[in-house]
C-alpha cells in the first residue's frame, strides 16, 4: 500500500468498497448535489462538479482512511471544485439577482422578532439551548439542520454557505457576488436570525419537552 499514513486505519481495497455501497453513495451524491446547487445555480455545472469530486475521490481513494471520514473528505474535494467554479465563472447567478423567497425575511422578519422599541418580542426571545453534545451528532439533527438551510431564501442560503461552509472571506464573497460589504453583513445577519429560529423551534426546544 502506498501513501502509508499513520492515520490510515483501513487499506485502500476496503476503502474502495465505499463505492460499492450503492445506497450510501446515492445518498451522499444527493447531499453533495444539494450543496453544490445552492452555490452554483446552474444545475449542469453543479452536477459536473459533483461528478468530478466523486471521480477524483475514487481515483485518490488510497489517500483517505475510514468511511466515517469519507464524507468530510469528498465534501472537501467538492468545496474546492465549487470555489474554483465560482472564481472562474465569477457568479453565474449573482446573489443580488436571487429572490428572497417565501416565508418571512428581510424587514418583515425583523418586525416579527422585535418590538417597535427594538427589544425582543416576548415569545421570540432566544431560549437557552441544551448543550449540543447529546444530540447534534445524530442523523436526525442534521436532517433538521438541512431543512432549516433549505428554508432560507436562496440568497441568504447561498451567502451563508459561502461564508460558513466554504469559508470564503468577505472581500471574495463581495467580489464574486457583486454585493457591498454592508449588504453582505446584513444578509448574513438575517440568515442567522432565520436559521437560529428554525433550529430552536424544531430541535432545541423540542428536545426539552
Residues contributing to the site for another protein (CB under 8 A): 21, 24, 27-28, 31, 67-68, 70-72, 75-76, 79, 110, 114, 117-120, 125-129, 132, 136-137, 139, 142, 145, 160, 163-165, 170, 181, 184-186, 188-189, 192-193, 195-196, 199-200
Which CA distances in Å does 59 have to 16, 29, 63, 77? Answer: 10, 16, 9, 12
Q: How far is the CB of 67 from another protein (least distance, A)?
A: 6
- Which 8-state DSSP code applies to residue 130? P
Burial level of 59, CB count in 10 A (0-12/13-18/19+)? exposed
Between residues 4 and 139, which has the closer beta carbon with respect to another protein?
139
Between residues 16 and 186, which has the closer beta carbon with respect to another protein? Answer: 186
Return the bridge partners of 178, or none.
none
User: Cβ of residue 29: shortest distance to another protein, in angstroms?
Assistant: 13
Q: Which is nearer to another protein, 13 or 69 (CB)?
A: 69
**CB-wise, 11 or 21, nearer to another protein?**
21
Closest to 195 in 3D by CA, of 161, 149, 163, 158: 149
* Phi, psi angles (nearest 5°) of residue 134: -70, -20
Asked if 89 and 68 count as a contact pair (C-beta separation under 8 A), the reply is no
Helices marked H in 90-153:
106-113, 139-151
- The SS3 of residue 115 is coil
The residue written with cell numbers 500500500 in the block is 1
| Cβ closest to another protein, residue 99 vs residue 139 | 139
Residue with Cβ nearer another protein (28 or 45): 28
- Closest distance to another protein from the beta carbon of 160 (Å): 8
Q: Are residues 179 and 95 in contact, defined by beta-carbon separation less than 8 angstroms?
A: yes
Least CB distance to another protein at residue 2 (A): 25
| Distance of closest approach, residue 164 Cβ to another protein, in angstroms | 4
How many other C-beta atoms can be found within 10 angstroms of the C-beta atom of residue 108? 11
Amino acid at each position: 500500500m502506498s501513501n502509508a499514513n499513520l492515520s490510515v486505519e483501513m487499506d485502500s481495497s476496503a476503502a474502495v468498497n465505499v463505492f460499492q455501497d450503492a445506497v450510501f453513495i446515492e445518498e451522499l451524491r444527493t447531499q453533495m448535489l444539494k450543496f453544490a446547487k445552492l452555490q452554483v445555480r446552474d444545475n449542469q455545472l453543479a452536477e459536473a462538479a459533483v461528478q468530478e469530486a466523486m471521480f477524483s475521490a475514487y481515483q485518490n481513494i488510497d489517500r483517505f482512511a475510514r468511511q466515517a471520514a469519507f464524507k468530510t473528505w469528498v465534501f472537501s474535494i467538492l468545496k474546492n471544485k465549487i470555489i474554483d467554479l465560482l472564481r472562474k465563472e465569477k457568479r453565474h447567478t449573482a446573489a443580488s439577482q436571487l429572490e428572497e423567497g417565501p416565508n418571512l425575511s428581510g424587514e418583515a422578519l425583523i418586525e416579527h422578532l422585535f418590538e417597535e422599541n427594538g427589544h425582543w418580542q416576548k415569545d421570540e426571545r432566544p431560549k437557552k439551548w441544551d448543550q449540543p453534545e447529546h444530540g447534534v451528532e445524530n442523523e436526525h439533527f442534521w436532517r433538521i439542520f438541512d431543512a432549516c438551510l433549505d428554508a432560507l431564501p436562496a440568497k441568504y442560503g447561498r451567502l451563508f454557505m459561502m461564508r460558513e461552509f466554504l469559508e470564503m472571506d468577505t472581500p471574495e464573497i463581495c467580489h464574486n457576488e457583486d454585493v457591498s460589504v454592508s449588504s453582505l453583513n446584513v444578509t448574513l445577519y438575517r440568515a442567522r436570525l432565520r436559521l437560529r429560529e428554525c433550529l430552536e423551534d424544531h430541535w432545541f426546544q423540542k428536545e426539552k419537552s
